[in-house]
């Protein structure tokens, strides 16, 4: 018996994006920029905000267009929509946050290649109406922002002793954390930590 699936509750969508299907820590997608731009908190947060924006706008756009897209050409259409919004974000950031943009411009442009945004458009936005799609985008985007914030928080704090440019700790910092290697370490350790949390949570609910 075919039952029309009820669009998931909005809050659940948001919680899903942040915890259960968190792009970086659980799905391990779109990792490239997560390490590249998280060597200080400001860049990490800006990148997360950019992804959030693109994700939400793409989801809304695709959801509005879903009835007009021929299934065979949907992937190129999705890519077109995503590249469009990324270009918008790219230009906006170049104009309003030039300093951060100088450091991570390339990675902003690479948002276009994010498997996570494409997957979300394909799996969710193209099959649901605008409101759920928007909240799904918000959820996944917030999850990404959350992950980037945590990573860059630790990397900047340990690597420079500062947060968002404000010096907090005055001891000699752990330089390696702001180097590429430190990025890998940070993500690996945080991933392991989230896995551990997930395992504990699963044990509790049994």
Minimum distance, C-beta of residue 4 to another protein, in the bound complex (Å): 32
Minimum distance, C-beta of residue 90 to another protein, in the bound complex (Å): 7
Q: What sign does the CA torsion over 174, 177, 178, 181 have?
A: positive
Stretch that binds another protein, among 10-18, 106-114, 139-147, 160-168 (CB under 8 A): 106-114
Stretch that binds another protein, among 12-20, 44-52, 136-144, 184-192 (CB under 8 A): 184-192
184 touching another protein, by CB under 8 A = yes
Site for another protein in 76-105 (CB under 8 A): 76, 79-80, 83-84, 86-87, 90-91
Q: Write the DSSP assignment of 37-86 as a string of letters.
A: STTSHHHHHHHHHHHHHHHHHHHHHHHHHGGGS-GGGHHHHHHHHHHHHH
Minimum distance, C-beta of residue 35 to another protein, in the bound complex (Å): 4
Quote the CA–CA distance of 199 and 206 in Å, as a whole number. 11
Contact 34, 151 (CB under 8 A): yes
**Number of residues lying near another protein (CB under 8 A):** 43
Q: Residue 73: exposed, middle, or buried by beta-carbon count in 10 A (0-12, 13-18, 19+)?
A: exposed
Q: Of the two residues 114 and 124, which places its CB atom closer to another protein in the complex?
A: 114
Could you say which of 73, 115, 123, 169 contacts another protein (CB under 8 A)?
115
**Mask: binding to another protein, 23-62, rule CB under 8 A, as x and -?**
-----xxxxxxxxx--------------------------
Q: Of the two residues 113 and 130, which places its CB atom closer to another protein in the complex?
A: 113
Q: What sign does the CA torsion over 126, 131, 136, 137 have?
A: positive
Supply 107's token pair. 């990675």
Q: What count of residues does the chain have?
A: 206
């Amino acid at each position: 018996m075919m039952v029309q699936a009820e669009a998931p509750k909005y809050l659940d969508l948001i919680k899903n994006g942040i915890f259960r299907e968190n792009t970086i820590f659980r799905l391990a997608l779109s990792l490239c920029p997560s390490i590249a731009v998280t060597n200080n908190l400001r860049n990490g947060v800006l990148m997360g905000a950019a992804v959030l924006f693109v994700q939400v706008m793409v989801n809304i756009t695709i959801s509005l267009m879903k009835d007009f897209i021929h299934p065979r050409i949907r992937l190129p259409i999705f890519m077109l929509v995503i590249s469009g919004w990324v270009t918008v974000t790219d230009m906006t950031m170049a104009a309003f946050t030039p300093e951060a943009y100088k450091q991570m411009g390339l990675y902003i442009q690479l948002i276009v290649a994010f498997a996570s945004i494409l997957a979300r458009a394909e799996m969710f936005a193209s099959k649901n109406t605008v409101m759920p799609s928007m909240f799904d985008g918000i959820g996944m985007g917030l999850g990404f922002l959350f992950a980037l914030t945590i990573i860059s928080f630790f990397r900047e704090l340990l690597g420079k002793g500062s947060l968002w440019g404000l010096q907090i700790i005055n001891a000699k910092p752990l330089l390696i954390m702001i180097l590429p290697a430190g990025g890998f370490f940070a993500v690996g350790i945080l991933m392991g930590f989230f896995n551990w949390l997930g395992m504990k949570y699963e044990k509790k609910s049994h």
